[in-house]
Amino acid sequence: MRLCSFHFIDFFERKVFDFIRKFKLIKRGESVLVAFSGGKDSLACLLSLRSIADEHGFNVSAYHIDLGINGYSYTMRKYVEEICGELGVTLHLTDLKEKYGFTVEEASKKRKRPVCSVCGIVKRYLMNRETRELGYNKLATGHNMDDMIEFAFKNWLNQEFEWLAKQKPLLPQLHPKVTPKIKPLFERTEKENAAYVTLKGFEYPLNECPNTYLSGWKEVASKIEEMKTGFKLMFIKSLEKFSYPLRQGDFKVCSLCGEPSSSEICAFCKVKTAKI
Ligand code: SF4
Ligand code: ZN
């Protein structure tokens, strides 16, 4: 499809709106917290939800975690603060070092685990906890179609079927302390998100986290798409239907912080209390 700026923006927002309705991601009167890292996908998520919020009858705010990553976090935090100020969006912010006394890179060295693995633990923990404690109904993330295909390839090959089954547009509340998570851009591509924010008149930081690791799966999916047009969309629609029995009710609560955990002490507390 060839669209002018005006009609592309309209097309994109209508697609997001229809997707939210189709999968019942947000109910009227709910409050949604958008995980806003400052990247193009989270910006596309924030802007598109904000543009349809009134019509759909919900509220949108933003949440940012300053992970303390050298040469990266400072820029992203400044950008997020600037955009939220410009848009008049309420921003909730957690400074990891200030509040919990460590950065993800420091914790990675202490725990002797890859920094992205520690970062994932920290983000999942804080996003869930803050969304619930701040009184929001849903946490929205900017995961796009290309991200989801990459996750699916990796998890399928590692036989992580339960993890794969959780990669849905809506992950419902499996425990009273676990906030429902939504992915409104599940069927939007990385390119569409970049075009949308640019055509809306926003620039976004192009610097990537220095710990970024490229798995190569996105390129594989794009090669298949070149050979078989429509592959990505068909794949993502299959992922929406994929099911596998999820463990329910075997969440414990962490003996240190009281947050949901599958073991006596949660992964976040293990990271926080790690010694060199
Ligand atoms: Fe965190 Fe790794 Fe992403 Fe950097 S690349 S933000 S360390 S998950
Ligand atoms: Zn804990």
List pLDDT tens digits, range 213-261: 888 999 999 999 999 999 999 999 999 999 888 766 567 899 999 999 9
Cα radius of gyration rounded to whole Å, the chain = 19
Task: Give pLDDT, residue 2.
Answer: 84
Name the residue with tokens 């202490």: 110
Which of 239, 150, 147, 124 shows the shortest CA–CA distance to 193? 147
Ligand nearest to the CA of 209: 1
Residue 202 has pLDDT above 90, yes or no: yes
CB of 96 shorter than 6 A to ligand 1: no
Residue 52 CA to ligand 1 center (angstroms) comes to 30
Ligand nearest to the CA of 147: 1
CB of 178 shorter than 6 A to ligand 1: no
Residue 1 has pLDDT above 80, yes or no: no
User: CB burial class (10 A; 0-12, 13-18, 19+) of residue 264?
Assistant: exposed
Angstrom distances, CA of residue 248 to CA of 162, 175, 176, 183, 252: 11, 8, 12, 21, 11
User: CB burial class (10 A; 0-12, 13-18, 19+) of residue 67?
Assistant: buried
Residue 276 has pLDDT above 60, yes or no: no
Distance CA(93)–CA(62), nearest Å, equals: 8
Please check whether residue 122 is in contact with residue 173, taking contact to mean a CB–CB distance below 8 angstroms. no
Residue 273 has pLDDT above 90, yes or no: no
Distance CA(104)–CA(254), nearest Å, equals: 20
- Structure token pair of residue 264: 């006596």
Task: Give pLDDT, residue 252.
Answer: 86
Cβ neighbours of residue 178 closer than 8 Å, sequence gap 6 or more: 128, 251, 260
- Tell which one of 70, 77, 119, 122 to mutate to probe ligand 1, the residue whose CB is within 8 A of the most ligand atoms: 119
Phi, psi values for residue 119, rounded to 5°:
-60, -40
Task: Give pLDDT, residue 246.
Answer: 73
Task: Give pLDDT, residue 138.
Answer: 98
Ligand nearest to the CA of 255: 2
Other beta carbons within 10 angstroms of residue 52's beta carbon come to 18
Residue 42 has pLDDT above 90, yes or no: yes
- Ligand 2 ion: nearby residues, β-carbon < 5 Å: 254, 256-257, 266, 269
Distance CA(253)–CA(229), nearest Å, equals: 46
- Whose CA is closest to atom 6 on ligand 1? 209
CB of 119 shorter than 6 A to ligand 1: yes
pLDDT in tens, 132-160: 999 999 999 999 999 999 999 999 999 99
3-state secondary structure of 185: coil
Rounded mean pLDDT of 178-198?
A: 97
Task: Give pLDDT, residue 275.
Answer: 67
Task: Give pLDDT, residue 3.
Answer: 87
- Which atom of ligand 1 is the closest one to the Cα of 120? 8
Other beta carbons within 10 angstroms of residue 155's beta carbon come to 17
Rounded mean pLDDT of 161-173?
A: 90
Ligand nearest to the CA of 259: 2
* Average pLDDT over all residues of the chain: 94
CB of 34 shorter than 6 A to ligand 1: no
Residue 174 has pLDDT above 90, yes or no: no
Which of 246, 265, 268 shows the shortest CA–CA distance to 160? 246
Question: 82 pLDDT band (50/70/90 cuts)?
Answer: very high
- Which atom of ligand 1 is the closest one to the Cα of 104? 7
Task: Give pLDDT, residue 248.
Answer: 63
Please check whether residue 50 is in contact with residue 141, taking contact to mean a CB–CB distance below 8 angstroms. no
